[in-house]
Chains A and B, each alone.
Chain A
Amino acid sequence: MGPALNFYLSIFIFLIAYIFIISEKINRMIVALLGATIMIFVKILFSDKALELIDWNVILLLIGMMLIVNMIKKIGIFEWLAIKTAKLVKGNPVYLMILLMWITAIISAFLDNVTTVLLIAPVILLLSAQMKITPIPFLITQILASNIGGTSTLIGDPPNILIGSAANLSFMDFLANLILPIFSIMSILSVAIYLIFKNKLKVSKELRAEIMSYDERGIITDNVKLWKSLGILAFVFIGFLLHNLFHYEPYLIALFGATLLMFLLKEEPEHLFADVEWTTLFFFIGLFILVGGLQESGVIKFVAEKIIKLSGNNIFILTIVILFMSIVLSAIVDNIPFVITMIPIIKQIGPQAIENTKFSNFEVLWWALALGACLGGNGTLIGASANVVVAGLAEKNGYKISFVEFLKYGVPITIVAAVISGFYLYFKYFF
């Protein structure tokens, strides 16, 4: 088949797949994998080339982290933390909300966002039932915190894992570049929450006393497992901080930590591996190949050139456009396909954009993509998986988080996030 035909055929296959993924009528993994295999069948891509396009660093890092999470979530550390916090603030609902936000943000920075909120949210439902107040503000702020916190590290959110691997950025690079805007956004959110809710949420002394009577020591039953897990977690954390120094890929740290923990906790691998989210992983694999098809047929190059032309090859304009486009698109569609598509485009435009400028690399574009894709998830109730999952859990327990109710929180915080990210990138790279 001729190059021109491949060009249009690959766009056709890609767009059809994209439309089905966005419409959510068919399982997204099935669509991505179907599109990917068709790309290979029609010979837009050769099959060995397709295999090269799969970023195994991303896949193996995700598997490693899923395994670690599956082991430690059973121990009860997170539930313990939530109850301990409730007692620490003596059942004061506003302080509880803010502290739980920070806890979730920090945990989400290292673990999968969905898992984090799914561990904390049930405890919130219990606490709010006990305090006789609505759990909805608690749950929504949990979602926001989890998406914000997840933005701060290489392993915090899938877009960052993808970007880190593709751009060869280390765990430390992420932390060093993103911690300041993330901290600022969290702080502004905390102050806003305090001001909004300090007079709204009232809980009687009697109900607070009820919470103080919880015995959180009963939650963690296996102390040996606890300390082994915390030890491995600390080890993995240090491993991530140092991986670049020793030129180890992040996946190695995660897989090593997961395997070691499996050994120490005497876990049954069959069960652990059964809980790995294989559909998510194959969704990634499908997308890598789908986007690879666009690369091979020249579509990515074509789009990149158009973008450079439109932006006048100005790196500042490119940065701001990528940031805002990522925020808006991630708020309404799945951010993973978007990021996987953007990665080769940025790789294509980056070197040209920094020609004849003071920049020695185009890292700023990656940070714009990371901040936009992760923080955009807070825009709407369907912006990120954590949002959907918490809304589902709330509804099952008789509390409906409406789309509009969420927007009241999501839109302001996303605007704040966009403005802070924009100014941050401007002052850091262009001032």
Chain B
Amino acid sequence: MKLADLLDKKHIICNPKVSDKIELYNLMLKSCADELGNISQYSLLNAIAEREQLAPVVFENFALPHARIENLDNLIIALALFKDGFNFDGQKINFVIMILTSQEKSKIYLQTLRAISILFQNKQNVENLLKCEDCDEVLHYISALKIEVSDYVLAKDIMTAECATAKENMTIRECLNLMFKHELSGLPVIDDNNKLKGEISLTDILNIGILDYLKKIPNLAFLKKFEPFEELLKKENSMKVKEVMRQFAFIATPETSVIELAMAIVEKSMRRIPVCDKNKKLLGIVTRTDLLKKVIVG
């Protein structure tokens, strides 16, 4: 599917004369009136405002107000262009793209967002689009770009590529410092060639300090004074990450689907899933929060 096919020239507005955000939103919503049927303008604005409060919608020179709308069974994209810029919450931007989608997950929603950011992050595209005189020209230009929107989400779309990693020969102390610095409870472990070796979690490290026999006593309520970390403090400078790390229960490829990722998190109780290429080189990591931010809430 092409991005241009999801756009409708009715929904493209060039250089509207509006003074503020709400006026713009109203104008854009009006252009979509046919598709929106009897959904009230008020509830739409509300939904958009709510979403704006969750996370900022302004990126470089474009804003992406979006919302999931009850009783909407469609994906609607409205586009406004400002040749001379528009003051959006104090930031000067040239494009406002409004996306409305159904309450249930619209499969193409996330991919549409990706396609749009590809479109507007390219300086050449921005320049050429701002030269357009009317909506036909805009649509024509976008369709010539042939930006692809796939209707499914894969690991590569939601993974975090720049993730913190531990080296297998690090000491436990160094690893703990790294976790502390990044506020992470676990890290993928790699070797010098960026090859994935395993996973180290705070739980595994704490486990060093808990003596085996204590685990076999079901209730330690009587032991108020016992200090469990002596053992850990003794070993943290000599023990290496590779002695404590364990294997990931599931390793994703860039092409792994969201359902597989979700299954690994639910069924295998994983907190983070590594994404590797064929040679086990680590490409990125998908966490539960990635699924929350990039798929579920969107």
Contact = CB atoms under 8 A, between A and B. Distances in A.
B92 to A, nearest CB: 63
Contact of A218 (B212, B213, B221, B225): B221
Given A79-B217, A118-B216, A126-B217, A397 B211 contact: yes
B219 interface: yes
A217 B224 CA distance: 12
B180 interface: no
A221 B221 contact: yes
A79 B212 contact: no
Interface string B73-115: 0000000000000000000000000000000000000000000
A122 B219 contact: no
Interface in B178-218: 211-214, 216-218
A215 B225 contact: no
Interface in A212-237: 213-221
Contact of A214 (B214, B218, B223): B223
A393 B222 contact: no
Contacts of A287: none
Contact of A396 (B212, B223, B224): B212
A397 B210 CA distance: 11
Nearest to A399: B213
A129 B213 CA distance: 11
Q: Which of A214, A221, A393 has most chain B Cβ within 10 Å?
A: A214
B219 A76 contact: yes
Contacts of A123: 217
A238 B147 CA distance: 82
Contact of B222 (A74, A125, A129, A219): A219
A74 B216 CA distance: 11
A118 B222 CA distance: 19
Interface string B268-295: 0000000000000000000000000000
A218 B217 contact: no
A125 B213 CA distance: 7
Residue among B212, B214, B216, B224 facing the most chain A CB atoms (10 A cut-off)? B216
A122 B221 contact: no
Contacts of B223: 126, 214
A218 B222 contact: yes
Interface residues of B, number: 13
Q: Is the interface of B mostly helix, strand, loop or mixed?
A: loop
A426 to B, nearest CB: 43
Contact of A215 (B212, B214, B224): B224
A398 to B, nearest CB: 9
Contacts of A299: none
Nearest to B214: A126
Contact of B213 (A83, A122, A210, A221): A122
Nearest to A396: B212
A429 B219 CA distance: 49
Contacts of B216: 118, 121-122, 393
Interface in B219-236: 219, 221-225
A81 B216 CA distance: 16
Contacts of A213: 224-225
Interface string B217-257: 11101111100000000000000000000000000000000
Contacts of A74: 218
Interface string A99-124: 00000000000000000001001110
Contacts of B213: 121-122, 125-126, 393, 397
A79 B218 contact: yes
Interface string A126-164: 100100000000000000000000000000000000000
Contacts of A393: 212-213, 216
B226 to A, nearest CB: 9
Nearest to A217: B222
A258 to B, nearest CB: 20
A121 B221 CA distance: 18
A215 B222 contact: yes
A45 B224 CA distance: 62
A129 to B, nearest CB: 8
A12 B19 CA distance: 99
A122 B217 contact: yes
Contacts of B222: 83, 214-219
Contacts of A126: 213-214, 217, 223
28 contacts: A74-B218, A76-B218, A76-B219, A79-B217, A79-B218, A121-B213, A122-B213, A122-B214, A122-B216, A123-B217, A125-B211, A125-B213, A126-B217, A214-B222, A215-B221, A215-B224, A216-B222, A217-B222, A218-B219, A218-B222, A219-B222, A220-B219, A393-B212, A393-B213, A393-B216, A396-B212, A397-B211, A397-B213
